[in-house]
Structure 1
Amino acid sequence: MSKNTVETKRDGFLNTTPILQYILVTLLFPLWGAAASLNDVLIAQFKTIFDLSNFASAFVQSAFYGGYFIFALPAALLVKKTSYRLTIVTGLLMYIIGCSLFFPASHMATYGMFLIALFIIAIGLSCLETSANTYALLLGRKDKATQRINLSQTFYPIGAMAGAILGKYFIFTEGDSLEKQMSVMNSKEATQFGLEMLQRTMTPYIILIIILVIVMILFMLIKFPKCKPAEVEKSSDNTVDFKEGLYHLSKNKGFIKGVLTQFIYMGLQTTVWSFTLRLALDVNPHINERFATNFVIFSFVAFFIGRFIATSLLSKFDANKILMVYSAIGVIVLLYASLIPNISAVYAAVFVSVLFGPCWPTIYGKTIEKINNPKYIEFGGAILIMSIIGGAVMPALQGLVADIFGSMQLSFIVPMFCFLYIAMYFYGERKRNIESKKVKVLQS
């Protein structure tokens, strides 16, 4: 047997990484990054055009991440019954349908129709993330799984940057901010202006549709390994009953804590990115949305840099220690962003994205590793994707805090507390690892 022959081991992992297939799976990560960052742009636009409160504008994220939550388990079941490739193709198709719904939404000019389009996009992305995150782990040796998913996740911010740039140049315009322009218009002029602005949202999604169709065709034409555990492949019933899976994983305290931490982290990441643009406009009312979008782009550049730094550090140092230190610094930076009333607060909100670098893939990979029975890997992966609902809950909470206190800046105290929880989680994980090593030494 050739050393280059790809074989699936009993636990579902491969003996070597098929490069072409791994690259194509990695290409999916920037695709959902673009969709997520466009949400940050849409929040600022919809708030003004539809005259929404901060709380109501956050429903963009609620609809988006709500779709993730609802469809994660059906996506895992689709993986289990069919394959990772078919689930990915299904996700790409739903993504395309959701993007296409921006055409009627922009002409109907109703907030609800846009939320429906975003919800459909999220269903597609739920399929993609449920399958691609776990698939990236399995496409190679098990001992390199965390490094593989960190490398794949490194390309997420590239898509996020692309999405923000598309929003900056195709959705927003030069001149005064939307709020200032609409403040001097009568009702009829404001309605017409709002309709024109909403129709500008179509262009980024047309570009996405073209890219998605090309990627979907590639996945349909190229052969991919199944990466299914041997005992599951041989079983006549390769599905995991919902109650059975939930009961099994509910007894796994380490897994439950990992899911809660991922929920908190997704809330943290989404709140900061959702409201950085609004923070810039509030701190400096003389700038417009197109200029303020630069801070969103800078955030994704910082995130991209942070991913590379994290990948290097994770290969040399204990992941729990790195995440604990990162989170502690994040608490300090976000406290600064919440309390210092000048433009430096916006740069603090931008900088904190550097610290997001290792969070999602490390929490995901380490939590999946806590599942002892490979039969439940897809189900566990789906539960972790469901934890993305944190991205629906926390922005709404931050928007509510901003409305109550009349300060977008003060509301950044919400993600600060999220980072505090994550610091405590990784402190506990590191402490348990140290104690476990001491026990092993004593036993030997």
Structure 2
Amino acid sequence: MALLLAQAVNFALLLRERDRQIFQQASEPAIERLIGAVQGPSERRSARIRRWSSIDTASQVSRTMRLRPDIAERARDAFADRGVTVLRVEAAIGAVEPGSFIARRMNERRENERRERAERGDRRPVTRGDRDGDPRALVISAEVAPGRWVTSYGLIPDRQTRLIIELLFQTLILYAVVMAAVWLVVRRIARPLRDLTVAAESFDPAGAATALDPRGSADIRHLIEAFEGMQVRIRAMLAEKDHMLGAIGHDLRTPLASLRVRAESVEDEDERNRMAQTIDEMNRTLDDILSLARLGRPSEPPTKVDLSALVDAAVEDFRDLGHDVAFEPGARVTAAVRTNLIKRAVRNLIENALKYGEQVEVTLDRAGDGVAIEIADRGPGIPEGAIERMFEPFTRLEGSRSRETGGAGLGLTLARAIATGHGGSLTLANRTDGGLVARLWVPA
């Protein structure tokens, strides 16, 4: 846009300069003819002066013409330099009207030129010589005595059409050359940046590193090299984290197992059961924490499975334990998922529903370009303002959905992380007839 604006300004300046030159070239001969017509008697005037000047009783500058005070001032200065006294000088530019004095002179010039060409054997048609557009007349009238005006005429052609076309063509060529160069430079810069963007968006800590070809300018090459170095550091950091979590899990499970053995030796049955329940809860919390921490680098590859069969197997496990869980499978849907993780997410949601309602309803059906698994209970539900907060780690509500019902507050957090890791989502909503429904959606 800036280049186009600059070229437009340059184009306007060139046309303005050409107009100035045209006016100067046309006005100087007209002024000289006017001085010659004023100074010399009619019989001593040259044929050209007589042809392009006239003596009238009034100024030939009409109201329809555009006045040119600058040309009139130059004519007055020329009269003063020659010592010629005039009363008034007027100058203007207007269209050549048919039948006017200057129109007759133009026709005479064409006839003379046609005659001269015929004598030379030139059969080309007679034009105005410079292929101009319709000409304009320059009229300079000088009042030499009261009621006596001497007028000189000249032709000022319009801007040449060919010149305008040439300027436009040059502008377009320059614009095309510059834009082509800019496009090549931008393309050279944008292509490695586009590859880098794709690599950043598809970065998978658990997958293979994306190899990028360092190319482009020095800054872009350094950026690509820095990105590849960052990938290596992130993978190393996550590998170290996994190693540390494995060690922590092993170190914590050993004393928990020892505590469980010691709890069995407690004689009071109620106390022994409470201790065993606490130890089991600690084990479940530890499993949830370790599972949540490892979700960024799952070791299980995605496998194409029948989701209806997977959910039915999870529901059957709860039925075997005597829980009232109903499952209504919809259309048979297969999807590439990490089987153990999806099954764990479904189990977490069913366990969460059983804690707050005796009956749980599970449904599965297609939803858009994926599959939706809904787990609904008949519990008290969750206040609308607290639903999103329930996905935060270690978050519980007071009242019926409290710590007393069991759990460490990681079930929903882990289930949503599993759904997000599959490119899906997990949402909660209160049912109109009471209870809560969890909707797990994954792409199919």
Normalising TM by the smaller chain, what interval?
under 0.3
Q: TM-score, normalised by structure 1?
A: 0.20
Question: Which structure dedicates a bigger proportion of its chain to strand?
Answer: 2
Pick the structure with more helix per residue.
1
Mark the structure with the bigger radius of gyration.
2
TM-score, structure 2 normalization? 0.20
